[in-house]
Amino acid sequence: MPFRVNRKEQRPVQMMFQEGTFRLAHIEEVQAQVLELPYAGEELSMVILLPDDHVALSSVEKHLTFEKFLAWTHPDCMKSTEVEVFLPRFKLEEAYDLGSVLQGLGVVDAFQQGRADFSAMSADSDLCLSRFAHKSLVEVNEEGTEAAAALAVTVVECCLESGPRFCADRPFLFFIRHNKASSILFCGRLSSP
């Protein structure tokens, strides 16, 4: 199935398919669908924000705030319904050197020998930070879907009537949310798999 990177460019991608009961809503304010895919145990969920066909992802991003995200994904605003879900396999990985960011925020002593104080962590008084790195990874594949108690199968188009369809075949935003705390643990944008 092709992934529409933009109006002119498409790329073939391996799509996963699952049919099940999920929480789904249409957000008129930004003309987008929002789908919640709970992970096993339902402590965490992946929430996907997919603009309608004619809407650019950048338009949705301009309106997005944490408060609006909470409102759009509130249980009262989403309806549990039988949905056909088509989602591309993807893997996103990023690494950041946060040393300069921290120093720009005023955390400078920790990087200077003789001024850093890590006495609560080590008896060695001559410690300081030389580097502060962060790496993040999100991989969505059949195994991850299986771990979330989902089923991935090969898709064959047919003419049977079915329920709503959520087909992430164009750029979208995704969020990994801790449901009880309503905290976003990770968020990302898939624009070109």
**158-192 per-position pLDDT tens digit:** 434 456 899 999 999 999 999 999 999 888 999 98
Cut 0.95: pTM above it: no
- Taking the C-alpha atoms of residue 128 and residue 110, their distance in angstroms, rounded to an integer, is 6
- 148/81 same-domain check: yes
Tell me the β-bridge partners of 79. Answer: 24
Q: Quick one: how many helices (H) and strands (E) in the chain?
A: 4, 11
**What is the C-alpha separation between 107 and 173, in angstroms, rounded?**
32
114 plus 183 within the same structural domain = no
Q: What residue spans of 4-76 are helical by DSSP H?
A: 57-63, 66-72
Same domain? 121 vs 167: no
Phi, psi torsion values for 85, nearest 5 degrees: -110, 125
Whether residue 163 sits in one domain with residue 110: no
Residues 31-48: tens digit of each pLDDT: 999 999 988 778 889 999
What is the domain extent for residue 174?
Answer: 2-89+141-190
Same-domain pairing of 63 and 49: yes
Helix (H) or strand (E) holding 148: none
Q: Are both 116 and 29 inside the same structural domain?
A: no
How far is it, in rounded angstroms, from Cα 71 to Cα 133?
33
Torsion of CA 181, 175, 44, 69, to 10 degrees: 40
Average pLDDT, the chain: 84
DSSP 123: S
Model pLDDT, residue 1: 81
For residue 180, what is the DSSP state? T
Q: Report the C-alpha gap between 139 and 12 in whole angstroms.
A: 18
Task: Please tell me whether residues 32 and 114 are part of one structural domain.
Answer: no
Same domain, 58 and 102: no
